[in-house]
Amino acid sequence: MIGVAVLGSTGSIGENTLDVLARHTDKFKVVALGANRNAAKLAQQVLTLRPAFAALADVEAARELTARLAGSGSPTRVLGGAEGLIEIASLPEADVVMAGIAGSAGLRSTLAAAQAGKRVLLANKESLVMAGPLLLAAVRASGAALLPVDSEHSAIFQCLPPGCAAGVSAPGVRRVLLTASGGPFLDTPHEALAAVTPEQACAHPKWVMGRKISVDSATLMNKGLELIEACLLFGLAPGQVEVVVHRQSIVHSLVEYVDGSMLAQLGSPDMRTPIAHALAWPGRIACGVNFLDLIRTARLDFCAPDLGRFPSLVLAQAAARAGGLMPAILNAANEVAVQAFLDRELNFLDIPRVIEAVITQMSAGAIGSLEDVLAADAEARQRALERLATPPHRAAMRAAL
């Protein structure tokens, strides 16, 4: 039996992972579950799956989980705080770790899994964006396997020659094309974007995702972060990664070779496919998705993204070229701005303006240690919060409301 620890089990990636695992109880055993603060949902999962360990990053939520499990006869040991997530990511009985905690909160546990030599299923792109050189060095030093779960990076991985190592460019690759659905506002008039609501931004036309990543998809920042991730994961220069808008979300990405060949991975827009691929690699397992009907699909459309409409993608491209700490700075400023939008404290068009203000105030610098990354992350967050507190942003938000 293959032991699996699922970090981010209460989110959409975690729930899809548990769905796939439930179809193959003869191959996989859930040994640990981890999440941020959703004690109620984690309690339900624990009572169903009875893992040896469960952890919540929020200490108070961990206490709530303990209380919810009291009297149930559950054998699960509950851990609290960031150290609890690190512990379950490093468990000897966990052969595979799903790194599915969203945002920068997943960095430490993802790094711990890599340092422990696990097969790391990377759904938390921010870990690579923030601290790519550190994560890749940990993978090399420990002999861990780093397998992408983002549908786009999974597609690229599947189109590369077998045996490609993380962070090393594959021979013969000219470039990769990252596909983007364009999100819910691809055709919305620009002047109307200032008034869009969090609910509208989170209503993705193709994918069911968490709120933060849904907003990132709407601004195309998600594609910008994926561009940075692709450069690090596949050893590519920023100029070798091109973003193309593909409304149908059927072609999940493409790899172009120097001989003119272009390989693509196609499938229904369902995260269970890349999750199942990473779990079973180098084999394949069924995962409950609807099989693709090309006749019914009928057509596949592609176009270049409108960079005037999606300035967040431009900012991410610049961060990829700058390298060093700049991707971590970009990510931190984006997380603060997106949360402010979700909290109705910032309008949609001001998200990239806050990010740009922060990245122009800070220098890239080299990544020497995890402390360097965390310091840059903290400074960027503080600068973003200061920007949010300025009168122009407050006035703009009042006008939008």
In sign, the C-alpha dihedral spanning 156, 162, 167, 172 is negative
Residue type (1 letter), 355: I
Using 50, 70 and 90 to split pLDDT, how confident is the model at 16?
very high
Same domain for 126 and 173: no
Q: pTM of this prediction?
A: 0.92
Same domain for 391 and 298: no
Using 50, 70 and 90 to split pLDDT, how confident is the model at 395?
very low
3-state secondary structure of 55: strand
Using 50, 70 and 90 to split pLDDT, how confident is the model at 209?
confident
Same domain for 308 and 196: yes
Q: Is residue 274 part of a domain?
A: no
What average pLDDT does this structure show over 71-90? 94
Same domain for 116 and 6: yes
What does the pLDDT read at residue 119? 97
What does the pLDDT read at residue 391? 56
Same domain for 186 and 303: yes
Give the list of residues 6+ apart from residue 9 with CB closer than 8 angstroms, or none. Answer: 15, 17, 18, 33, 34, 35, 42, 45, 100
CATH code of residue 368: 1.10.1740.10
What does the pLDDT read at residue 183? 85
Cα 379 to its chain centre, rounded Å, is 22
Q: Is residue 280 part of a domain?
A: no
Express as a percent the part of the chain with pLDDT over 90.
Answer: 83
Same domain for 7 and 145: yes
CATH code of residue 8: 3.40.50.720
Q: Is residue 68 part of a domain?
A: yes
Asked if residues 357 and 318 have their Cβ atoms less than 8 Å apart, the reply is: no
What does the pLDDT read at residue 396? 46
What does the pLDDT read at residue 329? 97
Domain, as residue range, for 200: 166-269+294-321
Q: Is residue 361 part of a domain?
A: yes
Using 50, 70 and 90 to split pLDDT, how confident is the model at 398?
very low
Helix residue spans in 122-172 (DSSP H): 125-142, 151-159
Same domain for 240 and 137: no
Distance CA 390, CA 335 (A): 18
Express as a percent the part of the chain with pLDDT over 70.
Answer: 97
pLDDT exceeds cutoff 90 at 208? no
**DSSP assignment string, 350-382:** HHHHHHHHHHHHS------SHHHHHHHHHHHHH
Distance CA 58, CA 84 (A): 10
What average pLDDT does this structure show over 328-351? 96
Distance CA 319, CA 298 (A): 37
Same domain for 217 and 313: yes
Q: Is residue 221 part of a domain?
A: yes
Q: Is residue 156 part of a domain?
A: no
What does the pLDDT read at residue 401? 35
Residues 262-298 pLDDT 10s: 999 999 999 999 999 999 999 999 999 999 999 998 8
Residues 65-80 pLDDT 10s: 999 999 888 999 999 9
Using 50, 70 and 90 to split pLDDT, how confident is the model at 110?
very high
Using 50, 70 and 90 to split pLDDT, how confident is the model at 44?
very high
Same domain for 96 and 226: no
Using 50, 70 and 90 to split pLDDT, how confident is the model at 182?
confident
Same domain for 181 and 96: no
What does the pLDDT read at residue 219? 94
Same domain for 232 and 116: no
Same domain for 317 and 337: no
Q: Is residue 154 part of a domain?
A: no
Q: Is residue 375 part of a domain?
A: yes
Residues 137-157 pLDDT 10s: 999 999 999 999 999 999 999
What does the pLDDT read at residue 392? 53
What does the pLDDT read at residue 397? 45
Using 50, 70 and 90 to split pLDDT, how confident is the model at 45?
very high
Structural domains counted in the chain: 3
